Amino acid sequence: MTPKARNGTIDTTALLQMISAIILGLATLALAAATLAGALGYLPYLSLSLTFGDTVLPDAGLYVQIALTFILVAILAALPSGFRVTRLERTHRDFRISMSDVMEAYYAAHRADREGVFNLASEFDAVKERIQFLHQHPDLGHLEPDILEAAAEMSFASRELAQTYSDENVSRAKGFLKHRQEEIELFAERIDRALTISYELKRQREEIEIEEDAMESRLAHMEEEFGDLLEELGFSRSRTPRENVIALPHATAAE
């Protein structure tokens, strides 16, 4: 519901309450005057034939008229307090609606300030510029000038906040963080590759060590089995610091 429609509904309700109060007041006044005139003998009382079981109430109309008069007077006396409560509720509702409108206008002005729409520096010119912007806004032009002025002053008071967190600064910060995130992801990928290569090299080294151990074992077995035979055939074994290397020079022809 638009603010104009809300205001129309509130005005209609207040008018109906006022009409009801006037009708009730006139009815109370008329009944009180008739009762008083009846007591003074100028008008007759109501005539009702009422019975309670076997008992006949001849003056029932009088009692009913007096009772209705007191009831209407009591209701009329309670109306001012009801009107005060209604007025307070309406004031609270109007204040809440006004604050909602102020916040909506302030949000629009603050967003425009973050986008760099306002350029004037002095307080008077800056507030006037914001009021003009809000007045030309398609969704805020129907608001009252006081609401637009309050929103403009709030926007001017928070201009430093809008400049600090402007769209340009926020976009630049997001770009910087995105670049840092990409660098972290690239660094993590390189670490994963380095770990993969390290594990592969370690595996290959272990395989080579296993093969070297196997070759040394075979060489030792061969020396143990054929060492004496090689010496008889004229081959001599030379010891080097490396046990896995054996030099077998050939024997000369004279030998």
CA angle, 166 as apex, 164 and 170 as ends, to 5°? 95
The pLDDT score that the predictor gives to residue 191 is: 95
For the cut 50, the answer to whether the pLDDT of residue 255 exceeds it is no
Structure tokens that stand for 158 in this block: 């928070």
39 closest CA partner among 68, 71, 65: 65
Phi, then psi, of 55 in degrees rounded to 5:
-90, 130
User: From the centroid of its chain, how far is CA 87?
Assistant: 34
At 89-113, the pLDDT tens digits run 666 555 555 677 777 887 788 778 7
The pLDDT score that the predictor gives to residue 250 is: 45
The pLDDT score that the predictor gives to residue 8 is: 53
Name the least confident of 155-164, 204-213, 234-243: 234-243
User: From the centroid of its chain, how far is CA 207?
Assistant: 60
At 187-206, the pLDDT tens digits run 999 999 999 999 999 999 99
Tell me the percentage of the chain whose pLDDT exceeds 90. 16
CA angle, 146 as apex, 141 and 154 as ends, to 5°? 95
CB 143 within 8 A of CB 176: no
* Neighbouring C-alpha atoms within 13 Å toward the C-beta of 59: 5
Phi, then psi, of 182 in degrees rounded to 5:
-65, -40
Global pTM reads 0.38
- The residue with greater pLDDT, 8 or 169, is 169
Spatial neighbors of 93 by CB under 8 A, at least 6 apart, are: 10
